[in-house]
Structure formats: structure tokens, C-alpha cells
A and B are shown apart, each in its own frame.
Chain A
Amino acid sequence: MPSSVDTFQYDNRIVKQFAIASMVFGVVGMTVGLLVALQMFLPQLNFGSPFTTFGRIRPLHTNAVIFAFVGNAIFMGVYYSMPRLLKAPMWSKKLSQIHFWGWQTIILSAAISLPLGLTTSKEYAELEWPIDIAIAVIWVIFGINMFMTILKRRERHLYVAIWFYIATVVTVAVLHVVNSFEIPVNLLKSYSLYAGVQDGLVQWWYGHNAVAFFLTTPYLGLMYYFLPKAANRPIYSYRLSIIHFWALIFIYIWAGPHHLLYSALPDWAQSLGTVFSIMLIAPSWGGMLNGLLTLRGAWDKVREDPVLKFMVVAITAYGMATLEGPLLSLKSVNAITHFTDWTIAHVHVGALGWNGFLTFGILYWLIPRMYGTKLHSVKLANAHFWIGTLGMLFYVIPMYWAGLAEGLMWKQFTAEGFLQYPNFLETVLQVVPMYIARAIGGSLFLTGVLLGGYNLIATARGGKFIAEEEASAPPLEAQPKPEKGGYYHRWIERRPVQFLLLSTVAILIGGIVEMVPMFVIKSNVPSIANVKPYTPLEVEGRDIYIREGCVSCHSQLVRPFRSETERYGEYSKAGEYVYDHPFLWGSKRTGPDLHRIGGKYPDAWHYNHMLEPTSMSPGSLMPPFPWLIEDELNTHNTAAKIRALRKVGVPYAKDYDEQALEDLQTQAAAVSQSLADQGIQVDSDREIIALIAYLQRLGTDINPSAN
């Protein structure tokens, strides 16, 4: 060895902090998940309180498991593996700490703001604008710390795990910033800059790639480090890593529109979503193959070692989910599965299997090493593995079943040409047994996690934490120059800046090709003359709809199918949504679509239904919303809302904000009077008045007689 060898310490403390945060928030997020699963068949578990009602708690569950459980696990794995792969400690311990505490503060603010109903309603991007800014800042700090570490490395070439980390950092930053453009009304409320179809496209470009670049690429990076470490086997194929890495990050970004098939999005954009999803099968499976084939010659260890067991199931779940996703992107398949519980099954194969099990595998490998000891109980870890696997099966199989049943029931016609199940509720009540089975599966999975938590704590107690791990390596300058020839790809592996730039280009192309025409070419959103901006009262009603998370269970998108136009009315047109900031198409129908609800029922029906849904729909699983009748509508921000909406392009007349409150009160008095005519006395200043006004307006612009 050359004489100049640096010695340095790896910081295990930050790894431990993120590991604890991941486990704690994992338990919290999954417990909330269990609660919402129970609410699906026991509406009384909404507890009659706004703060615990499904619509507000469901985003809490998704955000907690994605950003708190998985997010912290990513950082845990990156802060452990990256310094070791680069032979350099993290560039700044201070930035690591700011990252950790900043991220936990963001999670805490989400845990407070979501139950309060502060939400943008865009899935997995629900947090309001001040938190959005905090996320961007903390993410950039993480990126700087990471990239400076790469620049200060003592390993000339970047290993494949680092490639995935770089792609993750860049892409998540781009996605988050572009999707979060919004105009604030005040500190707690904002409107998306985009409207309707465009907002939908941007949101699902984001939403799909949150799956790709938050739940997939960082985890592939973790797999490429922890799997060969745990199995003590070489990676199966370096050249497969190269091909599947670049193919994956380039193709993934195009696939977003597959969330909007048969929507009002133009056909060409939908088709791009479909074909790029199909082309994703092989690149995704490249990762699975490189994982599973790395275990050749180590399968005897898989039988013994719970770490490898967890990893094998994780990688298999990844392979299943990434084959299923493209198949769901075929329009004829999507026509049956979209808006049903099939989607819920699909995401949970990914979340419970791929993310959950890989995280547990890593934890069982990592914690004993950081505490210089052995795993407290292999038996207990095996028990966790089997309970978790069973839990997963009990979760996803009923949900697939339910999804298929729903999709087919919604489309079923009788021989006479009528819908077999004209009452949507019938199709919901059919799948209740599946909801019960799912809750059992979820409880099993959570039980496994608790066992795992106990096992890991006991392991830590039995050892001594190694806060700083000594290591040594010669500095880069003292190392021999890289060999000439060999793989072309070696060139970019030793040039992190060029690597960063090239991967940024790769992930920008798809988004640009899809989004720019949608914003620039007018014919993509044909305008409809009758479509007018919402009145101030309807704007307030719409904000209540957003606050209560109605979009969690109700879509506002009638697809062009005979079964849907028979059930709901005319299918939805792009031009109807031009003033929808944000769009509220939804992604799941636990209840019926609401885009044509306007004028369908009398005002009194809506009043009674919100007060006690079962009074109008016996057996309904919808929670009651009595506070809408008790609470006064807050009109302090009405004028500011009109101004903010004007800024994002809604054509209210100049100075209309001064007129808005008066118009609101006039319309509210009319709704109150109509309720009185139908025998219901309610003051015109209640929230329910605004919500009814909004619901009665929905989808009526193209059919003025309905209003």
C-alpha cells in the first residue's frame, strides 16, 4: 500500500436515528392504515369527529408510510451504504443532522395539518405550501451533503447503488417543485397553478414518479448494497445494471398518464402512458433479475437467514408489481380495474412487499452490525417473516377479488339493457366481506412489525452501539490512474458531475414531451362556452369538499363507457374542468362518481345525507358530517380566494373580490330558502349551504336545464 493512507470514521449515529424514526413512524402509519381499513366497514369508527374521519385520515396513512416509514428507511440505508461505497464519511455531520431533524419536523407538521383538513388534495402531495417549501429545502440539503460526499470520495468509480441515489435526488426534486406550483390564499391555503386536465397530467406525472423515484429507485440502490452484503455473493451482472438503470430512469418518467386512461386527457397522451408502461416491464425486471440471480449459489443461506428471506420476498413482490403495473396500463384492463380496490391491492404488493420487507431485511442485517452483536432472536425474526407474508396475502387477495367484483358489477347490464346494479351501494355492500378480510391481513402484518420492533430493541440492548466506525483508504490522488479501454460506461462512473447531468437529461425528456404540448396547444383542451367560473359560495363549498377529503372516495370523472353514462350521465369533457384548481378527478370509487351529481337530488336530500348518510342510503358506509351543519362558514378569506383564483387564471372581473361576499350571501339565502321549502330549517351561514351549492353545480354547465 502507498504510504499515504487516510483514516476516517463512518458516522453510525445518523443511521441509527433514521432507523428508529423509520420503525416508529412505520408502526404509526400502519396503525392509521388499520384504522382506515376498519372504517371501510365500520363507519362508527370515524368517531363522529372531523379529525378522525376517513377523508382526512387516509392521506395521513399514505403520507406516513411513504414519507415517514419508507423515507426514513431510504435515508438510513443511504447514510450507511454511501460513505462505505465511496470510502468517505458524509461530507457534513451538521447537514446530516439538519436533514434528520428537518425531515422529522416536516412529518410532524403533516401529522398535525392533515387531520385539520389542511390539504391541497393532490395525492401524495397533500401538504400545504409552507411545508412544500420546507420539503424542498431539506431535500436540497440532503442532495448537497450527498453530492459533496461523492466529490470527496476515495473510490474512483461510482457503484450502481450510487447511480440510483443520484437519480433519486435529482428527480424527486424536479417532481416536487413542478407539482407544487401554487398560489397562496393565506398561510394555510393555496390553489394549484394548474387547472383540470393539465393539473391532472402534472399531478400524475408526479404521483407516478413518486412511486418510481421515491419507492423504487432508492430501494434498488439499497438492494444493490445490502443484498450482496447479506448474501456475500457478487452481483450477477454489471452490464445488466447499466442497461436497466438507464432504461428505467428514462422510461419511467413517461408513464404517468396511465393513471388517467379513459379520462378527459387527450388520447395521444394516454397512449404514451400505455406504451411506455409496457416498455417498463423489462427494465424493471432487470432489477429483479439482478437481485434474484445474485443469490445463485446462496439459496441454502436463504433457507436459514431471515434477512435473505425478507429480501427474496421483497424482490419477488417488486417483480410482481412491476409486471402488474404495465398490464393495468393497457386500456382494456384499466377499464375494469381503475377506480376499484384492485389499485389498492396493487400498491400494497409494492408497499408491504417491496418496501416493507426490504426495509425489515435491511434492519435485521444492520442493527446487529451497528451494535457489534448478533440478532437477539432468529426465531422471532422468522416468525415476523411468516406472519408478515401471511398478512400480505390476506391483504392483497381479498382486495384483488373485491376490485374485480366491483369492476364487473359496475359494467354489468341485464338482458333488457339495464344496469344490473343501478344502485351503486349494492356493489359496495357486496365487497364488505373482502374489506373485513383485508383488515385481518393488515393486523397480521402490523403484528409482525411489532414483533420485529421488539426483536430489534432487544438486539440493541444486548450490544454496544458503535457510534463511529474506523476505516482507512488511500486518497484518490494516491491511487493508480484508471485503466485505459474496458467499458465505455466506466468513463461516466468516475465523473459524478457528468453523471448527474446525463441522468437529469434522461428524466426530463418524458415530462417535457408530454406536458409542453398540453400547455401550449389549445386544441388539447377544447373550450366549452357554457362553462363558467364557480360562484364565491361554490368556491367555498368546493374548499369544504377538498378539506373533508371527499376525493378519497368519490371521483369526478365519468368515463366514456355506456355503463357509466347510463349510471351517471354524459361523460366528462376536458373543457368542463378549466376552472378546477386543483382538479378533483380522484383515483378510487368507494362511493359513486359525483361529476353529474348536480341537480340529481333535491337540496334536502343532500342535507339529510350529509347529516346521516344511512337515512337516504340505507346501509351506506359513508361517515356522517354533522359539523357541516353546526359550523358557520368562514368567509374571511372569500375575497382573498377570489384574488388568488384570478391570479391562476380564473376570469373573474377585476375587483370582483369586493363583490364576492355579497354574492355569496345572496346565493346562500336562496339555498337556505329552498331547504326551508322542503321542510328543513337551517341558517344560511352554515358550511352545509356552501357544500350543497357546490354539489348542485357539479357537472351542470353543459346541461343548463339541470340547474
Chain B
Amino acid sequence: MAKHKDELLNHDYDGIQEFDNDLPGWWKGLFYITIVFAFVYLTWWHVLGIGDTQEVKYEKSMNPAYVPLPEDQEQTLVDLVFPQFKAPYTKPGRELSQAEILGGVSLMPQEEVIEVEMDTDVEPVMVAAALADGKKIYDQYCFTCHGMAGEGGIGPNLTDDFWIHGGTFPDVVHTIRVGVPIKGMIAWERSLPKEDIVKVASYVWGMHGTSPPNAKAPQGEEFARQ
């Protein structure tokens, strides 16, 4: 194509004239690249289905051993037009075996082990440093419902002898861990490491019998500590 440089066209709109310069080469290149990008992108995800859908990507982020089942994969254009055609890229769908789960990076089974330990054998850690950490956690998250001194508010009083969900130390840890969603107690294991749960439970354990002012009336069953 001939080069056009600052050639005035014979238009004049209210005194505005126009050159007829060529489109800058880099501009055209940029436009072509973005068009190629679009074709590659759509082909990758929606014609061939090589790229993971956002659901599959999510499952993989939760469990690296995850293998998508066919129904989890989006129907691609190829699937729609040639349903009988099984391309080599199609990942085989299958259930994971128990051994694979245990051998995989999934944390599920290990968590179950921890659960058993924490709910039966755990004991309060009545050490100053741990209790100070526990207080910090309590003052950040717990006080809105249970009061600054454990006197209760929206949630029950933590200083008396009465417990709704069990009064042993493992019971307290369990309640903090899994929460009571129906009543609004959050399952803290989703946001606190287990050490922190034990620390804050220990701090709560130490509140017993402190009789703070404005204490909420007892709820639940009486539990006498050994």
C-alpha cells in the first residue's frame, strides 16, 4: 500500500480538515494480536475444552488430587457437535480410591485424627503466656457475644457452673471448634489454628467463678468441675 503522509483530504467541516495518514503499524499489530488472542482463548476453553472451568479450578485448589468427572466439565463446542468424538485431551472421569485420597495431598483424613485427639484428650494450658494469647483472641472475637468478662450477652455466661453444650474442657474446645451455627456461634476452626483454639478455651476455662457484674442468668445444665 502506498504511504500516506500528511495528505490533506478535500473535506472541510466547519473549518476542520483531515489528513489521511496510514494507521500506525504498531497499532495495527496490536489489534491483530488481540484478535488472535481472542480466538486462541475461546478455542482453548470452549471449543477444545483444555482449560479448566472455574468450578474445576476451584476443586483443584481445594484438593490437588481432584480429577473432574465428565459432568463437571463444561460442554464444549466439540462435545455439542460431535458427541461421539472422544478426543485425547478429554480427562477420564473416575472416583478417587481411598488409598489415593490418603496418599494425596488432601488433608481430610489427618484432620479427622486431630479431631479425635482434640475432643477427648485435650487439657487446658494454664500458662501465663498462653493465657495472654487466649485473652487477646477472646478480646478480639468473643466479647461481642459473651461480654468483656465472660458475663454473657447475646451468648451465654461463661463464668457460671451452667453449660449448654457440655462443661468439660474438651466440650468447650469442641463447641469453639465446630460452633453452634443455629444459634450463631461460629465454627472457629475455619479461622483459628488449633493452638489458638486451645489457648482461648483455656482463657475461658480460667474465667470460671469470677462472678463479673451484669452476669447473664444461667443457661443449660449444671456441671460441677472435678
Contact = CB atoms under 8 A, between A and B. Distances in A.
B53 interface: yes
Contacts of B193: 414, 416, 418
Interface in A82-108: 84-85, 87
B135 interface: no
Interface in A148-169: 155, 157, 159
B92 interface: no
A253 B146 CA distance: 53
Contact of A423 (B24, B107, B140, B190): B140
Given A268-B46, A560-B57, A276 B144 contact: no
Contacts of A228: 16-17
Interface string B22-54: 111001101100110110011001100000011
Interface in A209-259: 225, 228-229, 234-241, 243, 247
A123 B132 CA distance: 47
B154 A605 contact: yes
Interface in A532-568: 560-562, 565-567
A523 B58 CA distance: 20
Contacts of B45: 267-268, 271
Nearest to A293: B21
A688 to B, nearest CB: 15
A523 B80 CA distance: 13
Interface residues of B, number: 54
B191 interface: yes
A635 interface: no
Contacts of A235: 16-19
A243 B13 CA distance: 20
Given A275-B42, A289-B27, A234 B154 contact: no
B3 interface: no
A250 to B, nearest CB: 12
Interface centre among A278, A560, A599 (most CB of B within 10 A): A560
A262 interface: yes
Nearest to A265: B54
Interface stretch (A280-288, A375-383, A402-410): A280-288
B113 interface: no
B181 A600 contact: yes
Contacts of A241: 18
Interface string B141-164: 100110000000111000000000
B38 A239 contact: no
Interface in A513-528: 523
B24 A289 contact: yes
A562 B57 CA distance: 10
A571 interface: yes
B145 A271 contact: no
B6 to A, nearest CB: 8
B11 to A, nearest CB: 7
Interface centre among A155, A268, A276, A293 (most CB of B within 10 A): A268
B209 interface: no
Contacts of B145: 602, 605
Given A238-B18, A275-B41, A561 B61 contact: yes
Interface string A671-693: 00000001100000000000000
Nearest to A607: B154
Interface in A5-32: none
A268 B58 contact: no
A237 B154 CA distance: 70
A308 to B, nearest CB: 15
B55 interface: yes
Interface string B69-87: 0000011000000000000
B37 A571 contact: no
B122 interface: no
B14 A85 contact: yes
Given A560-B57, A605-B154, A275 B11 contact: no
A617 interface: yes
A608 B145 CA distance: 10
Contact of B184 (A81, A236, A605, A615): A605
A281 B26 CA distance: 12
B128 interface: no
A601 interface: yes
Q: A interface, by DSSP: helix, strand, loop or mixed? A: helix
Contacts of B46: 267-268, 271
B182 interface: yes
Interface centre among A286, A599, A601, A617 (most CB of B within 10 A): A601
A706 B193 CA distance: 24
Nearest to A227: B16
A436 interface: no
B198 to A, nearest CB: 14
Interface centre among A155, A225, A234, A266 (most CB of B within 10 A): A234
A571 B61 CA distance: 13
Contact of A234 (B17, B141, B181, B192): B17
A178 to B, nearest CB: 25
A423 to B, nearest CB: 7
Interface string A580-615: 000000000000000000011110110010000001
A207 to B, nearest CB: 22
Contact of A282 (B17, B27, B186, B216): B27
Contacts of A238: 9, 11, 18-20
Interface string A650-682: 000000000000000000000000000011000
B15 interface: yes
B183 interface: yes
A462 interface: no
Nearest to B217: A679
Given A84-B14, A275-B42, A283-B31, A239 B144 contact: no
B214 to A, nearest CB: 12
Given A271-B42, A275-B38, A423-B141, A560 B18 contact: no
A276 B145 CA distance: 49
A390 interface: no
A603 B183 CA distance: 8
Interface in A460-496: none
Contacts of A234: 8, 16-19
Interface string A263-307: 000111011101110110111011001000100000000000000
A419 B54 contact: no
A134 interface: no
B184 A285 contact: no
B78 to A, nearest CB: 13
A562 B58 contact: yes
B13 A85 contact: yes
B5 to A, nearest CB: 11
B31 A237 contact: no
A137 interface: no
26 contacts: A159-B11, A159-B13, A225-B14, A228-B17, A229-B14, A234-B8, A237-B19, A237-B22, A238-B9, A238-B20, A247-B31, A275-B38, A279-B38, A282-B27, A282-B30, A285-B27, A289-B24, A523-B75, A560-B57, A562-B58, A562-B61, A566-B191, A605-B145, A616-B144, A679-B153, A705-B181
Q: Which 5 A-B pairs have the closest CB atoms?
A: A422-B191, A602-B184, A282-B31, A275-B38, A560-B58
Interface of B: 8-9, 11, 13-24, 27-28, 30-31, 34-35, 37-38, 41-42, 45-46, 53-55, 57-58, 61-62, 74-75, 107, 140-141, 144-145, 153-155, 181-184, 186, 190-193, 216
Given A566-B190, A600-B184, A617-B144, 8 more contacts: A234-B19, A238-B18, A240-B21, A267-B45, A275-B37, A289-B27, A560-B54, A602-B145
